[in-house]
Amino acid sequence: MKTKNKIILVSNIGSASRKYFVYSVAPKSKPEELFSIQFDEKEFYPSVRLEDAMIEFFEIAKNKYFLDIGDIDVVAERVVAVGEFFLENRVINQAYLEELNNAKQYDILHTESLIHELKQLIEIKETCLAKGVKCKFKIVGISDSAFHSTIAKEVYTYAIKDFKPEHNFRKYGYHGISMSGVVDELGGKYKKVIAIHLGGGGSVTAIENGKSIFNSFGMTPASGLINLTRVGDVDPFVILHIYKKNKKYFSLLDNGDTAFDSTKEEIYEKSGLFALTGEKDMRDILDNLKVKNVNQKEKAEFALDLYINKINEYIGMAYAHLGGADALVLTGSILEKSEVFRKMFLPKISWLKLTKKNILILKTEEEKEMANIVVKQGFL
């Protein structure tokens, strides 16, 4: 690809997809998208194994878009991981990989897939250099928690005896890349903003003067709001009893499974709205409001009532942290795309007494914001 502009490749790893966006950056300009390629198990290149998606991306990019590996200046990876190390965006090196390996113990979503892709990128670069092929890109980790590094200690601390920093037991907050994009979009117009992001995961963030002061997530994305498959906030003794039940069950087996793994699966993948409705997609839950099956319909109604109630509770927390609100931002696929859900949700938050012009629906563009962060923080 013949260009004098800088080239950024953004990688966004999901549980069932891989998204790659390529941006061109002219001097003193914002990134402009050139093309994107997505892989998933159903619609986009389903024959490609997700763990091979990065390798396949480079082949397609070269043959279809004439982009060579040597054209890329920065590869930006979305990072969701536990630890104070990840409260900053950083160039990824061996020390970074070691921190990620340590973060695996908390079983955050996608960590294993991220490490696999990073090792592929490092191997690709080493192979190219060994063959004398031009390969200049640096790899940068854009953390989903970095935006929340401004949250005060009295907000992020857990009251746990013998607390040790190396245990990483504290709140970190997530959806930070999305929130950073919200701040850029608003451009300083509002001082006190409550931002709600609802997609596969959900969160509420309090933003004051462009900085995060509260986020509903805790140490991991399993906490906070009810999510589609994640439990959200729950009494710790519920989790202990689930673990105790699983420990008793697995002690009778000899198949390599553990009580911890099973408990993690229950709170990450089998809870939330899925546990209440049997559905993992908000579109299906909303469709169930119209079905003739009374039981199915009632389950959907109750789940949505509970979901909206929990969101409202966290809006109240954000409001208290801010001491008021000048604007409410709705983002994430559910709030962006579902008018049905918005009609159910908005009347429940009328207590905020915001005018329609101060309730804004903003499109989530995490990949674009990641490219913006690369430029703003001088990684190019």
CB-CB contact of 333 with 364 (8 Å): yes
Coil, strand, or helix at residue 369? Answer: helix
d(CA 221, CA 230): 8
pLDDT tens for 4-50 read: 899 999 999 987 789 999 999 998 899 999 999 999 877 889 889 99
Amino acid occupying residue 183: V
pLDDT tens for 149-171 read: 999 999 999 998 766 667 789 99
pLDDT at 163: 65
Strand partners, 157: 170
pLDDT at 252: 56
CB-CB contact of 23 with 7 (8 Å): yes
- Which of 111, 143, 175 corresponds to the end of one domain? 143
- Which of 89, 109, 143 corresponds to the end of one domain? 143
pLDDT tens for 263-311 read: 888 998 899 999 999 999 999 999 999 999 999 999 999 999 999 999 9
pLDDT at 229: 92
Residues 277 and 199 in one domain: yes
The encoded tokens of residue 124 equal 């690709």
**Residue at 292 is within a domain:** yes
Residue span of the structural domain in which 78 resides = 6-143
Sign of the Cα pseudo-torsion (233, 237, 240, 245, in order): negative
Nearest Cα neighbor of 218 from 59, 329, 368, 108 is 108
351: domain CATH number is: 3.30.420.40
Coil, strand, or helix at residue 3? Answer: coil
pLDDT at 205: 98
Number of domains in the chain: 2
CB-CB contact of 216 with 172 (8 Å): no
pLDDT at 257: 63
**Residue at 112 is within a domain:** yes
Residues 104 and 208 in one domain: no
**Residue at 257 is within a domain:** no
| Number of alpha carbons in the 13 Å side-chain half-sphere of residue 232 | 23
Q: Give me the mean pLDDT over the 330-355 stretch.
A: 96
Give the other-Cβ count within 10 Å of 125's Cβ: 18
**Residue at 66 is within a domain:** yes
**Residue at 290 is within a domain:** yes
Residues 193 and 300 in one domain: yes
**Residue at 72 is within a domain:** yes
Which residue in the block uniquely carries the two structure tokens 């003739």?
292
The gap between the terminal CA atoms of the chain, to the nearest Å, is 18
Asked whether residue 255 carries a pLDDT value surpassing 60, the answer given is no
pLDDT band of 104, cuts 50, 70, 90: confident
d(CA 11, CA 50): 13
Q: Give me the mean pLDDT over the 207-213 stretch.
A: 98
- Which of 108, 143, 178 corresponds to the end of one domain? 143
Residues 109 and 200 in one domain: no
